[in-house]
Amino acid sequence: MCNNTHVSAHIPGCPSGSVIWDTWRHNPNFTEVLIMATVSMRDMLKAGVHFGHQTRYWNPKMKPFIFGARNKVHIINLEKTVPMFNEALAELSKISSRKGKILFVGTKRAASEAVKEAANSCDQFFVNHRWLGGMLTNWKTVRQSIKRLKDLETQSQDGTFDKLTKKEALMRTRELDKLENSLGGIKDMGGLPDALFVIDADHEHIAIKEANNLGIPVFAIVDTNSDPDGVDFVIPGNDDAIRAVSLYLNAVAATVREGRSQDLASQAEESFVEAE
């Protein structure tokens, strides 16, 4: 019998009915991922996931996910959020287990550092400062900028900068810093991502639109003031509170790490079979 509150609704011996239950039923190997990555309602309440924006700023398209209002602030229905987030985690686990590349996007101040840390913790990619228009849809140009970034990195390390005049060295250093700031999180991505995980669908609407144009699935935290259109996996929740943002990012990073370890385990198993 399951006693873990984080997974009690999703594994054998516990109530069924969720998308994650179906995932487990068809592939029991997903059990370990679920134990590590599912998020409970208690976790969300502690993190303030249920607090939306002031009622006057709401987007009517978010009505199905709103429980009510308190002191003119919308309260998000966590009975909707919990299964929707866990469904998103299950899908992200599948993508990462197939060596898929996840691009974390969160450029506002409340999310910036946490986005970088989460992506780095699972060896994935991130944009945590300004989203440059065409970052996905004009990848050829972006790739040239990434090449320039790497060239400048090499020059800064091999002594080339030391041979320049102070003015030239300063100009290249500034160019390097600017490119690192905007492209550092995707410089090793090696092509378009297989999925976007977005903090604040409203703030990152340009990134979402570009992903839509390219058929890249979008997973996004959507607050009560945001438009859920264009988001393939909507996660209704607070997109401002640091604790809430950290909760989402930590769960996604854990899911991606576990998905990648499943891929490595399956590769090792195949090698073992071949050796026999």
CA distance 52 to 46: 14
Q: What is the pLDDT of residue 6?
A: 40
Angle, helices 19-26/78-97, rounded to nearest 10 degrees: 30
CA distance 91 to 194: 12
Domain 137-185, CATH: 1.10.287.610
| Domain segments of the chain as ranges | 49-135+192-275, 137-185
Q: What is the pLDDT of residue 261?
A: 85
Tens digit of pLDDT per residue, the chain (276 long)?
Answer: 333 334 333 333 333 333 333 333 444 444 444 444 579 999 999 999 999 999 999 999 999 999 999 999 999 999 999 999 999 999 999 999 999 999 999 999 989 999 999 999 999 999 999 999 999 999 999 999 999 999 999 999 998 988 999 999 999 999 999 999 999 999 999 999 999 999 999 999 999 999 999 999 999 999 999 999 999 999 999 999 999 999 999 999 999 999 988 766 555 555 544 555
| Residue 127 burial (C-beta neighbours within 10 Å; 0-12, 13-18, 19+) | buried
Q: What is the pLDDT of residue 260?
A: 87
Paired with 70 in beta bridges are 73
Domain 49-135+192-275, CATH: 3.40.50.10490
> pTM of the prediction?
0.82
Q: What is the pLDDT of residue 262?
A: 77
CA distance 129 to 83: 30
The two three-digit tokens of residue 60, written as one number: 């009517």
Q: What is the pLDDT of residue 8?
A: 33
